Chain A
Amino acid sequence: NAGVMQNPRHLVRRRGQEARLRCSPMKGHSHVYWYRQLPEEGLKFMVYLQKENIIDESGMPKERFSAEFPKEGPSILRIQQVVRGDSAAYFCASSPRGSRNEQYFGPGTRLTVT
């Protein structure tokens, strides 16, 4: 059973470009979470999705950031018009059910904005 997959592992974007981060959850997992880790900081929750639904987006910046988890295909975290402050590691996690179960994290996408 393959683990959570994220791609790309490293992404370089210039200011103003768009960044698309992909996450394929573990097989059988229908819950996906995105977290962001700024350099030398802990992880911060961004958004929690189930198939075709956003359950909790309380950690998402109000502008430029969006997330989806379509019926088919990976979950996508999209950052429009990136700025230097968006440079961070973005981790995706999945779980088989919602509450009180462990989350399995992917290796992360390291976004660098130049």
Chain B
Amino acid sequence: DAKTTQPNSMESNEEEPVHLPCNHSTISGTDYIHWYRQLPSQGPEYVIHGLTSNVNNRMASLAIAEDRKSSTLILHRATLRDAAVYYCTGTLNFGNEKLTFGTGTRLTIIP
């Protein structure tokens, strides 16, 4: 399984962009990169995933390094509702379906 490294915590001002980094240097060629977030007292929520190309959806953008050893989750305009723990997951290996969560980054949004 791919091991991931993320900063323990980050702060951002409301309505500003947020860049959440993740290192996954042991990723294999077939692994997708997934991001989930967990709001207080809730189950994790899927944010975005990608393989090689940058990805965009209504929640966020995912920028994947060319060597795929790191990625950055981009929240374009943070709101108070984005305060959560963000997990860059050890991705789903082919034939191995489990998600491997690290300790994640606790994002605090400052009003």
A→B interface (CB under 8 Å): 4, 31, 33, 35, 41-45, 48, 55-56, 58-59, 91, 93, 95, 98-108
CB pair A44 B101 closer than 8 Å: yes
Bound-state Cα–Cα, A51 to B91, Å? 23
A42-B87, A42-B103, A42-B104 known; A99-B43 Cβ under 8 A: no
Q: Which residues of B contact A55 (CB under 8 A)?
A: 97
CB pair B95 A105 closer than 8 Å: no
- The A/B interface has a contact count, at CB < 8 Å, of 62
- Majority secondary structure of chain B interface residues (helix, strand, loop or mixed): loop
User: How many chain B residues touch A (Cβ–Cβ < 8 Å)?
Assistant: 23
Cβ-closest 6 pairs across A and B: A105-B43, A102-B46, A45-B98, A43-B101, A42-B101, A105-B44
Closest to A104 in B: B46
Looking at B43, B49, B92, B94, the one whose CB has the most chain A CB atoms below 10 A away is: B43
Bound-state Cα–Cα, A104 to B92, Å? 14
Q: Which residues of B contact A103 (CB under 8 A)?
A: 46, 99
CB pair B99 A33 closer than 8 Å: yes
The 24 listed contacts between A and B (C-beta, < 8 Å) are A33-B97, A35-B99, A41-B103, A42-B101, A42-B104, A43-B44, A43-B87, A43-B101, A44-B101, A45-B98, A45-B100, A45-B101, A93-B44, A95-B97, A99-B94, A99-B97, A100-B32, A100-B91, A101-B92, A102-B34, A102-B46, A107-B42, A108-B42, A108-B43
Separation in Å of the B52 CB from the closest CB of chain A?
13
CB pair A98 B44 closer than 8 Å: no
A99-B92, A102-B34, A102-B49 known; A91-B44 Cβ under 8 A: yes
Q: Which residues of A contact B87 (CB under 8 A)?
A: 42-43
